[in-house]
Chain A
Amino acid sequence: DQQVKQNSPSLSVQEGRISILNCDYTNSMFDYFLWYKKYPAEGPTFLISISSIKDKNEDGRFTVFLNKSAKHLSLHIVPSQPGDSAVYFCAAHTGGFKTIFGAGTRLFVKA
C-alpha cells in the first residue's frame, strides 16, 4: 500500500524553463511534506518542506504547493538549471517518527 506516490518516473526539461514534479498521497493525517534531492551514489539531501496547514512554501528557485482537498503536492523549480538534474523524492511525515517516501522522479535538465 503506497501512501505516497510519484507517478512520473522521469521528467525532461529545458534549461531556464520550469520543472514541475508531482506527488499524491492517501493519508489525510500527514502533518508535514518534504522534498529531497538525490545525486547518484549519494544520500538524499533535504530540499524544502511544507506544513499541512499551509498551501505554499517558497525558498529561492524552489516552491512547494499543497492541495489538501486533492491530496496532491508539487515542487516547482524556476528557472531549471543543469545542476538540478537528480532524483527527487517526495516524503510525508506522520506521527511516531515515521517519514514515508515516494519512489522518486528523475529530473533531466537539458542545457
Chain B
Amino acid sequence: DGGITQSPKYLFRKEGQNVTLSCEQNLNHDAMYWYRQDPGQGLRLIYYSQIVNDFQKGDIAEGYSVSREKKESFPLTVTSAQKNPTAFYLCASSPRGESNYGYTFGSGTRLTVV
C-alpha cells in the first residue's frame, strides 16, 4: 500500500540535543512538507520541498533543518536552537504543488523535551 511513514511515533529529547524525524513516502509525489501542530492551533508550515535537492522555508523554520536527497525521503532535524520543540510533527506529500489535490499526511511524531 502506498503512503507516508513517519518514525518514530514518540520521541523524547534532552535539552541541547539535536534529533531527526524520519519521513518516507512511496507515492511518487514530487512535493513534501513538514508541519507542526500545537494545542489549539492549526498546522504551521516548517519547510517544504518541491523537488529533490531543493527546499524552502515555511513560516516557522527557525531552529529546524531539512534535506531532500531522495524523492522518497524528507527528514526533519530539530536543533537545539529551537526554543520550544515539544509538539506534534506531521509530514505530508502531494503529487505537485498545486492546490486542489490535497495532501497525504503521515501519522505524525510526537516530540517531547525532557
Do A and B pair up? The answer is: yes
Asked whether A36 lies within 8 Å of B102 as measured between CB atoms, the reply is yes
Chain A, interface residues (CB within 8 Å), range: 20 to 34
Cα distance A41–B108 in the bound complex, in angstroms: 7
Task: Say whether chain A's binding surface is mostly helix, strand, loop, or mixed.
Answer: strand
Asked whether B42 lies within 8 Å of A42 as measured between CB atoms, the reply is no
With both chains docked as a complex, state the minimum distance between the C-beta of B47 and any C-beta of chain A, in angstroms: 11
Asked whether B99 lies within 8 Å of A44 as measured between CB atoms, the reply is no
Cα distance A88–B50 in the bound complex, in angstroms: 26
* B53 interface residue per 8 A CB criterion: no
Q: A4-B42, A97-B97 are in contact. Are A43 and B56 (CB under 8 A)?
A: no
Q: A43-B90, A43-B106, A43-B107 are in contact. Are A49 and B100 (CB under 8 A)?
A: yes
Contacts between chains A and B (CB distance < 8 A), count: 65
Asked whether A103 lies within 8 Å of B102 as measured between CB atoms, the reply is no
Return chain A residues, CB-CB under 8 Å to B40. Answer: 9, 103
Contact of A43 among B42, B44, B101, B108 (CB under 8 A): B108
Q: Which of chain A's residues has its CB closest to B42's CB? A: A101
Asked whether A34 lies within 8 Å of B102 as measured between CB atoms, the reply is yes
- The 8 A CB mask of A34-73 against B (1 = contact, 0 = none) is 1010000111111101010000000000000000000000
Q: State which residues 62-114 of B face A: CB under 8 Å.
A: 90-92, 97, 99-108
Return chain A residues, CB-CB under 8 Å to B107. Answer: 41-43
* A100 interface residue per 8 A CB criterion: yes
* B58 interface residue per 8 A CB criterion: yes
Q: Which of chain B's residues has its CB closest to A90's CB? A: B42
Q: State which residues 15-52 of B face A: CB under 8 Å.
A: 31, 35, 40-45, 48, 50
Which residue numbers of A lie inside 8 Å of B, CB to CB? 2, 4, 6, 9, 31-32, 34, 36, 41-47, 49, 51, 89, 93, 97-104
Instruction: Provide 5 A-B residue pairs closer than 8 Å at the C-beta atoms, listed in order of the A residue.
Output: A32-B99, A42-B107, A44-B90, A46-B101, A97-B56
